[in-house]
Amino acid sequence: MGQGGRPRRRVRADREPARVIPPRVLDVAPSLPETPAYLYDLPALDEHAAAVRRAMGATEVYYAVKANPDAELLRVLAGHVDGFEVSSGGEHAHVTGLFPGTPVALGGPGKTDAELRLPHHRIHVESPNELRRLLATGLEADVLLRLNPDLPVEGAALTMSGPFGMDEAGVAECLPLFGERVRLRGLHTHLASGLAAGQLLTLAETLLGTEHEEVNLGGGMAVSYDRPESRFDWAAYGAGLAALRRGRRLRIEPGRALTAYCGYYVTRVVDVKRVRGEAYAIVLGGTHHLRTPVTKGHDQPLTILPTGAGPGVTGEPLTVVGQLCTPKDVFSRNIVTSARVGDTVVFEMAGAYAWNISHHDFLMHPKPSFHYLRA
Ligand SMILES: *Cc1c(COP(=O)(O)O)cnc(C)c1O
């Protein structure tokens, strides 16, 4: 770490200091050859995925690839998960290219006829019309019907009501259409994102009250960007599902809660200034590389490493922004901290819905480089 200083952690008056970043990440971040950069802690992902796998016991775990399709991450996850949930022909080609023969569950609203023809372990059918088009392919298929249950979801970050899946009437319309080639295996649902173990278990109780012998309970396990140290209670969820199973085949498909924690977006402070009393640190790159704080409306947790010797501010509310010419390019607002030009900024929790959901080409700044810590 340059300047021999200690990292300045973000501290908010109303909050506990955030969890400590692994020393190996803090060691590497200031010396990355190019910034902005994405840095992935693969040993941390390996450990986390193994812990989730253990906690879930007999419940199958598929990784929802849309959270982050990075091949290096998928290779680590492949050692722990039972399969992958893909939601497009592109994700299907990517995953089956990397892991031929691995089980895939094919989901997503608005599947094309070409997508309906893709080989799968399970296909999640979203509507009666989609099921009819699947039948018309003449191919074999193993179907889970995606139910959009009428359940209140309190405190969820994003509810998936609206066009996703079907209501009970839609499911009833589908039931008589099944036969020898296109087989009904059970139900699929994905209710919301940002759910605690207790809320997911309530959902599970409802779905397991049905006759279906196979149920995919979806993803949406809570990830708290306000309190990075608080984690989804995998042990409670696993034990709760084990108690509800009664011989049925259960599956979950988490995305964010598997990969969010292993990714970091590392950049440097390029300017520090005050405008009408407000202090700003401007970093190289921006939310076109890490769109998560804009889409979720949160402050991205960060740590500033004192590698800079330029002008700066000390111990006052500071808003950290990127290089884009838009007032929306904000990572974190009014964080009480200190920053100097040349300091290294490490944004945490940038491993899911981060690079791959971002509008990379906006303003044509250079793309980040990608780095992987290995065991
Ligand atoms: C996005 C999605 C997931 C994963 O959700 P997370 O919140 O990332 O866990 C799982 N299943 C379906 C159907 C999805 O659309």
251 and 265 assigned to the same domain: no
Q: How far is the CA of 113 from the centre of ligand 1 (A)?
A: 23
Q: Is the CB of 221 under 6 A from ligand 1?
A: yes
Of 190, 195, 237, 251, the residue with max ligand 1 atoms within 8 A of its CB, to mutate for a pocket test, comes to 190
Residues 207 and 255 in one domain: yes
8 A C-beta contact, residue 264 and residue 346: yes
CATH at residue 338? 2.40.37.10
Say how many Å lie between the CA of residue 62 and the centre of ligand 1: 10
Ligand 1 atom nearest 193 alpha carbon: 7
* 221 Cα nearest atom in ligand 1: 9
Ligand 1 neighbour 66 (Cβ under 6 A):
yes
Ligand 1 pocket check: which of 253, 256, 292 to mutate, most ligand atoms within 8 Å of Cβ?
253
**Do 120 and 250 have their domain in common?**
yes
Out of 52, 62, 66, mutate this one to test ligand 1's pocket (max ligand atoms within 8 Å of CB): namely 66
Are residue 150 and residue 85 in the same domain, yes or no?
yes
The last residue of a domain, from among 237, 260, 283: 260
For residues 10 and 72, state if they share a domain: no
Give me the pLDDT at residue 211, please. Answer: 85
Q: Is 220 in the pocket of ligand 1 (CB under 6 A)?
A: yes
Please give the number of the atom of ligand 1 that sits closest to the Cα of 158: 7
Q: 22 with 53, same domain? A: no
Which of 260, 286, 304 corresponds to the end of one domain?
Answer: 260
Res 244: pLDDT: 94
pLDDT at 98: 98
Reported as a single tens digit per residue, the pLDDT across 52-105 is: 999 999 999 999 999 999 999 999 999 999 999 999 999 999 999 999 999 999
* Residue 159, amino acid: T
Stretch among 17-26, 36-45, 125-134, 348-357 having the lowest mean pLDDT: 17-26
Pair 233, 107 in one domain: yes
100 and 216 within one domain: yes
What is the number of structural domains in the chain?
2
Q: Could you tell me if 84 and 162 lie in one domain?
A: yes
pLDDT range class, residue 120, cuts 50, 70, 90: very high
Query: What is the mean predicted confidence (pLDDT) over 42-51?
Result: 98
The range of the structural domain enclosing residue 255 comes to 42-260
- Average pLDDT of the segment spanning 288-297: 97
Verify that 28 and 105 share a domain, yes or no. Answer: no
Q: Tell me what the pLDDT averaged over the chain comes to.
A: 92
Residue 155's pLDDT is 66
Residue nearest (by alpha carbon) to ligand 1 atom 3: 219
Q: What is the CATH number for 170?
A: 3.20.20.10
**Could you tell me if 303 and 248 lie in one domain?**
no
The confidence score (pLDDT) of residue 135 equals: 98
Mark whether 136 and 241 lie in a shared domain: yes
Which numbered atom of ligand 1 lies nearest the CA of 353? 8
Cβ–ligand 1 distance for 85 under 6 Å, the answer yes
Q: Which of 214, 234, 260 is the last residue of a domain?
A: 260
Indicate which residue of 325, 327, 364, 375 is catalytic.
325
Q: Which has the closest alpha carbon to 249: 375, 49, 14, 60?
A: 60
Concerning whether 174 is annotated as a catalytic residue, the answer is no
Confidence band of 2 (pLDDT split at 50, 70, 90): very low
